[in-house]
Amino acid sequence: MKRRDGFTLIEIIIVVVILGILASVMVPRLVGNNEQITSGEGRQTLLSVVGAQKRYYLENSAYTATFANLDTTIPASQYFNAPVALNPGASGNVGSLARTTGTYTLIINDSGIIYCTGAGCSGIRCTKGGGANQCN
């Protein structure tokens, strides 16, 4: 009998199919995690904004709608536009931060609860905080 070294074509095809199935399962999970990590930067920025808004409120008995009035400096981000200070009025929202891709906006209220609005909210899994589109 002749001894044959190497793999048959069928064995190679089976391995390629198995690797393809594994890749199709793992790639969406890895891509989703990147957006979750990116949104974490936005959540930290908004927590800084709400802290500055609360300090401003203690000094002036009102919130400001002008970010320059706040005693905080937010470094530039490649993932988010500059944060916006909001005068809460009835909504209670004191700050917002939009993703540079425009897919979603994070909004924080005076209680420190962060919400997500926009089509990209599902990519950051904002609903795990207990409320609809609540991120923390």
User: pLDDT tens, 93-105?
Assistant: 999 999 998 888 9
17 or 123: which carries more pLDDT confidence?
A: 17
pTM over 0.75: no
Which residue is it, tokens 């709400």?
50
Q: What is the pLDDT of residue 16?
A: 96
Q: What is the pLDDT of residue 125?
A: 61
- Share the mean pLDDT of the chain: 83
User: pLDDT tens, 2-18?
Assistant: 677 788 999 999 999 99
Q: What is the pLDDT of residue 127?
A: 44
d(CA 98, CA 51): 19
42 or 136: which carries more pLDDT confidence?
A: 42
Q: Which tokens is 90 given?
A: 């009835």
| Closest to 109 in 3D by CA, of 129, 81, 79 | 129
